[in-house]
Amino acid sequence: MSNILKKDAFILPDGVIYLDGNSLGPMPKAVSARVQSMLTDEWGEMLIRGWNGAGWMDQPSRVGDQVARIIGAPQGTVVMGDTLSLKVFQALAAAIKMVPDRRVILSDTGNFPSDLYMAEGLVGLLEQGYELRTVDPEDVLGAVDNTVAVVMLTQVDYRTGRMHDIKAITQAVQSQGAVMLWDLAHSAGAVEVDLAGSKCEFAIGCTYKYLNGGPGAPAFIYVRGDLADTVQPALSGWLGHRKPFDFEMKYKAGAGIERMRVGTPPVIQLTALEVAMELWEDVDMAQLRAASVELQEQFIAQVERDVPSLTLASPRDSAQRGSQVSFRFHEGYAAMQAVIDRGVIGDFRAPDIMRFGFTPMYLDSGDISAAVAIIADVMNNDLWDVDKYKVRSKVT
C-alpha cells in the first residue's frame, strides 16, 4: 500500500496525532507554495487576465473531474462551487421538479442537520403542500411510497459513522418512482463510492474533510449524465448561463453539468483544493478503504481493552461503518478536550459522542497505539474532570 500512506506530504505538527480528518483535513505541504504563486504570479501579475490566462474560469469543471474519479462518477458530471448547504438546496430543488405530482421529501434522523434545514427552507418557500418527512435510518425503505418525490440521505452518519448502502437504497427508491439524492460529505475520499453504478440522480459533498481542501473549501455537485441537459436549476446564476458573457436578460441554462454552476468561482480555495487532489492521482480507493478499516479495528480493540468507561457508538461491523469510530461517554465534551490537550485531536458531537476519524494517508498503526495510550490515561485517571475542559467553545 505504498501509494496510500503519504504522511510526508502533509503538515502535521510535532506531538500531535490527528484523528479529526473527518471534520477538517490537514494541509498538504504543496498547497502553500502553489497558493502563493497563484496570488503573486496570477492575481498579482495577470490581474483580471487570469480568468483566461490562468484558467480560472475552467477551474470548477477541471477540479470537478478530479473529484469525480474518487466517487465513481464519469468525467464531465461533477462541478465545484459554493458551499455544501447551497448544493443541497440546488440539487433538492432540481430533484423535486422531476416529480411534480408528489410533495414529500424523505430523509432520516441521522442526516446532518444542515441538510434538513435547507429542505425545511425549500419547503417553506414552495408551500403548495410540500413537506419534509424524517424517519429512523433503518426505516427509510419502508417509508418510500407514491407520495415521496425525493429521498435525501447522507451515506455516512456524521455522529456514529453508520453507513447506508448507496446502490441498494437507490434501486429501491427509484423502483417507487422517486428521485435519489446522496450527500457524500463523509464518504468522498473515505470509502469506495460508485455513483455511476448506483444510477442515482444527484449527489453532493464537501471537500474540506477527507479531501483536504482547507476550511471553507468549495462543495461539489453531481448530476447523472443523461439528466444533465434537462434538469432545471432553481439557483439560475450567471455562470450557469449558456453564454454568460452575452449578458442576455433572460436565463438560458448551460450545457450539461455547467448549468449547475452558480456564482463566481472561489479561485484561491479551488487552487488549494486542486493541489490537494493531486495526492489522489495514484490512490486506489479499495486499498485506502482496507487500510482505514484495519486502523479502525485496531482502535476499537485497543480502546475496548484499555478504556472500559467508553461505549462503542459506531456499528461493530466495519462493512456498516464509514471511516470514523465514535464512542459514548456521559462527559464526552470534557473528555475530548482533555484528550486534545494531550495531543490527540478528535472532536465531540452532542449529546455524548467522542468522534475519531481514520485517514490512512497520514495515520499508521503506531499512531493508533499511541493515541489509545493517551485516551486511556485521560479516561482511567479522570483527567477530564477539570472545570476548564467543561466550558463549551463555539466549535466542538
Q: Whole-angstrom Cα distance, residue 396 to residue 387?
A: 16
The tens-digit pLDDT sequence of the chain (396 residues) is 447 999 999 999 999 999 999 999 999 999 999 999 999 999 999 999 999 999 999 999 999 999 999 999 999 999 999 999 999 999 999 999 999 999 999 999 999 999 999 999 999 999 899 999 999 999 999 999 999 999 999 999 999 999 999 999 999 999 999 999 999 999 999 999 999 999 999 999 999 999 999 999 999 999 999 999 999 999 999 999 999 999 999 999 999 999 999 999 999 999 999 999 999 999 999 999 999 999 999 999 999 999 999 999 999 999 999 999 999 999 999 999 999 999 999 999 999 999 999 999 999 999 999 999 999 999 999 999 999 999 999 998
CB 221 within 8 A of CB 95: no
The CATH homologous superfamily for domain 7-27+284-390 is Aspartate Aminotransferase, domain 1 (3.90.1150.10)
DSSP 62-111: HHHHHHHHHTT--TTSEEE-S-HHHHHHHHHHHHHHTSTT--EEEEETTS
394 tagged catalytic: no
3-state helix, strand, coil in the chain (%, to 5): 45, 15, 40
CB 78 within 8 A of CB 68: yes
Tell which phi-psi region holds residue 367, choosing left (phi > 0), alpha (psi between -120 and 50) or beta.
alpha
Q: Quick one: angle between helices 267-277 and 29-37, nearest 10? A: 140
Q: Name the catalytic one among 159, 289, 355, 367.
A: 355
Q: Whole-angstrom Cα distance, residue 36 to residue 33?
A: 5
| CATH code that applies to domain 57-280 | 3.40.640.10
Q: Whole-angstrom Cα distance, residue 191 to residue 287?
A: 10
Half-sphere exposure of 28 (CA within 13 A, CB side): 24
112 tagged catalytic: yes
Q: Name the catalytic one among 183, 347, 352, 367.
A: 183
Sheet bearing 148-154, strands edge to edge: 78-80, 220-223, 202-205, 179-183, 148-154, 104-108, 131-135
Q: Name the catalytic one among 209, 224, 259, 321.
A: 209
243 tagged catalytic: no
Neighbours of 187 (CB within 10 A): 25
Q: Which residues of 256-281 are buried (b: 16+ CB within 10 A; e: fewer)?
A: bbbbbbbeebbbebbbbbbbbbebbe
Q: Name the catalytic one among 158, 208, 210, 327.
A: 208
Cell 473527518 -> residue: 22
The amino acid occupying position 44 is: G
317 tagged catalytic: no
Query: Do 7-27+284-390 and 57-280 have matching folds?
Result: no
Neighbours of 81 (CB within 10 A): 28
pLDDT at 380: 98
**Please, what sign has the CA dihedral across residues 152, 158, 160, 162?**
positive
Phi, psi of 332 (to 5 degrees): -60, -35
pLDDT at 3: 73
Q: Name the catalytic one among 112, 220, 299, 327.
A: 112
Sheet bearing 353-357, strands edge to edge: 311-312, 324-328, 353-357, 347-349
Q: What is the domain partition of the chain in residue ranges?
A: 7-27+284-390, 57-280
CB 194 within 8 A of CB 166: yes
Rg (CA), the chain: 22
pLDDT at 323: 98
pLDDT at 1: 40
The amino acid occupying position 236 is: S
The overall longest dimension of the chain from CA atoms, in Å, is: 68
